[in-house]
Amino acid sequence: MSGNGAFMTSRTLQTIGQQVGRRSWAEPWKIKMVEPLRMISREEREVALNEAGYNTFLLRSDDVYIDLLTDSGTSAMSDRQWAGMMVADEAYAGSRNFYHLEEAVHRYYGYQFVIPTHQGRGAEHLISRVAIEPGQFVPGNMYFTTTRHHQELAGGTFVDVIIDEAHDAAVIHPFKGNVDLDKLEALIAREGAARIAYVSLAGTVNMAGGQPVSMANVKALRALCDRHGIKLYLDATRMVENAFFIQEREEGYADRSIAAILFEFCGYTDGAWMSAKKDSLVNIGGWLAINDPVMFEELRNLVVVFEGLHTYGGLAGRDMEAIAIGIAESVQDDHVRSRIGQVRYLGDLLNIWRIPIVQPVGGHAVFLDAREFYPHVPQVEFPAQTLAAELYLDSGIRSMERGVASAGRDAATGNHHFPRLELTRLAIPRRVYTQAHMDVVAESVRAVYQARAETRGLRMVYEPKYLRFFQAKFERL
Ligand code: PLI
């Protein structure tokens, strides 16, 4: 894999661009500090992957060249964020940085009461405990691993009410994350509104390929929930990226700022949980925010038990300061455009080479369609896990399985969930890699695609009880 090859690709694209009079955008930042990368040999990667049980979560990051495992906590912070951390207030109670965080959430997300948590799943834990009674249903626009797990631990049953298009990798739809209101109405009619804990809405939808929800959909959902007296809570983890798609694709929003769209969208919901490790450009942190004072009272009491005092929630003062500054940076239009633009650049290259990916390209990642990649590998042999392993072997690029291993087992029957989407995710950290890195990634995917016929699947040889994809081990068949 030569640097020249990567350069050639981007030059070729630029030539194509010049032919059609393209004007390029560039990142709205320059690089002040760099972290050297290391690439080990193919033989060393074979050993590392074997030791990791063919699970990319179990690799040492020192053995990884380009790390696209996740966009969570892996972004580069700005000089302003680092400066804010240096002057932070590490008081146990009432740190000034908590008030900065609270103010940023008020201003940009609009919710009234804010509780910090150590990361997104800390917030998911609290809201699930408080808002779900055992035996209730939690409808949502496709499951997310940790979200559904906390809903199940609280005695709830997740019900997928996303539109059908979301389950088909090849279908093009501008808002593949939308809730199918008929599916939701049917669930309410069957079970009764009292058995619905709340609607769990995520923008964008991670497991569908980073697909957005439209403003029209959340408005209609609000009206539906009001008719039945049901609460609507938002997983706001990548809601800034969702706002970009509304600006780009929904009538009436082209001239509105990302910040204004975000604020309006959140205004249709009763509260939100957040993994600040994504949109908000920090390495750790999260929050839970709500408008109902009674529920806030309960959550504020519970956070002390599981996370920490309600003015730090498991975070250091410096972490809260970095989030507060990161929120303001994350909603800048030029930032979001370049962030999603980079993801699209990678997706466009793979599309040009006719490599099967989820269409259209979403917000935070390019998702390879492992079913189409390896039609000869049945889903019980983990095609997406296999593809992640092959990519690592080819070039040291780390990706993540988002298929049958991630879907886990049905809580009632113990059988595997077999999701229609069997995907390998190339998640792009924010402000970390360059266009040349994207070229290298695309070329490695192409090499693995060209060698696909000889590839064999995997067998799971160790399966942890909870969220198995993180720690499971596999062997080659
Ligand atoms: O990783 P946490 O605990 O900060 O956040 C959990 C979480 C909640 N919602 C959504 C949509 C997520 O994507 C999410 C975490 N996602 C990870 C770690 C990812 O790699 O996508």
Q: What is the pLDDT of residue 9?
A: 47
> What is the average pLDDT across 463-470?
94
What are the pocket residues of ligand 1 if the criterion is a CB atom closer than 6 Å to any ligand atom? Answer: 70, 72, 119-121, 144, 146-147, 202, 206, 235, 237, 275, 277, 286
Q: What is the pLDDT of residue 3?
A: 36
Judge whether residue 411 has pLDDT over 90. Answer: no
Q: Which atom of ligand 1 is nearest to the CA of 146?
A: 6
Which member of 144, 245, 374, 474 is catalytic?
144
To the query of whether residue 474 is one of the catalytic residues in this protein, the response is no
Judge whether residue 207 has pLDDT over 50. Answer: yes
CA distances from 462 to 243, 257, 364, 455 (A): 40, 48, 30, 22
Q: Which atom of ligand 1 is nearest to the CA of 285?
A: 4
| Contact call for residues 142 and 162 (beta carbons, < 8 A) | yes
Q: What is the pLDDT of residue 18?
A: 59
Q: Which part of the chain is CATH 3.40.640.10?
A: 79-330
Q: What is the pLDDT of residue 19?
A: 61
Into which CATH architecture does domain 10-64+333-476 fall?
Alpha-Beta Complex (3.90)
275 alpha carbon to ligand 1 midpoint, in Å?
6
Q: Each residue of 414-443: pLDDT tens digit?
A: 999 999 999 999 999 999 999 999 999 999
Q: How far is the C-alpha of 378 from the C-alpha of 451, rounded, in Å?
A: 18
Q: Which part of the chain is CATH 3.90.1150.10?
A: 10-64+333-476
| Contact call for residues 97 and 324 (beta carbons, < 8 A) | yes
Q: Is the peptide bond before 204 cis (omega within 30 degrees of 0)?
A: yes
> What is the average pLDDT across 183-203?
98
- Mean of the per-residue pLDDT values for the chain? 95
> What is the average pLDDT across 239-267?
98
| Contact call for residues 312 and 116 (beta carbons, < 8 A) | yes
Judge whether residue 465 has pLDDT over 70. Answer: yes
> What is the average pLDDT across 138-148?
96
Judge whether residue 122 has pLDDT over 70. Answer: yes
Q: Is the peptide bond before 360 cis (omega within 30 degrees of 0)?
A: yes
Q: How far is the C-alpha of 315 from the C-alpha of 322, rounded, in Å?
A: 11
> What is the average pLDDT across 186-212?
98
pLDDT band at 15 (very low <50, low <70, confident <90, very high): low
Take atom 7 of ligand 1 and give the residue whose Cα is closest. 120
To the query of whether residue 424 is one of the catalytic residues in this protein, the response is no
Q: Which atom of ligand 1 is nearest to the CA of 277?
A: 4
Q: Which atom of ligand 1 is nearest to the CA of 206?
A: 11
120 alpha carbon to ligand 1 midpoint, in Å?
6
Q: What is the pLDDT of residue 2?
A: 35
Judge whether residue 10 has pLDDT over 70. Answer: no
Q: What is the pLDDT of residue 24?
A: 85
To the query of whether residue 12 is one of the catalytic residues in this protein, the response is no
Q: Each residue of 328-343: pLDDT tens digit?
A: 999 999 999 999 999 9
Q: What kind of fold does domain 79-330 have according to CATH?
A: Aspartate Aminotransferase; domain 2 (3.40.640)
Q: Each residue of 212-244: pLDDT tens digit?
A: 999 999 999 999 999 999 999 999 999 999 999
Take atom 4 of ligand 1 and give the residue whose Cα is closest. 120
Higher-pLDDT residue of 1, 472: 472
Question: What is the CB neighbour count within 10 angstroms for residue 389?
Answer: 27
**Residues contacting 459, CB < 8 A, separation 6+:** 381, 474, 475, 476, 477
**pTM, two decimal places:** 0.94
256 alpha carbon to ligand 1 midpoint, in Å?
28
| Contact call for residues 270 and 111 (beta carbons, < 8 A) | no
Q: What is the pLDDT of residue 412?
A: 86
Question: Which amino acid, residue 111?
Answer: Y
Judge whether residue 190 has pLDDT over 80. Answer: yes
To the query of whether residue 57 is one of the catalytic residues in this protein, the response is no
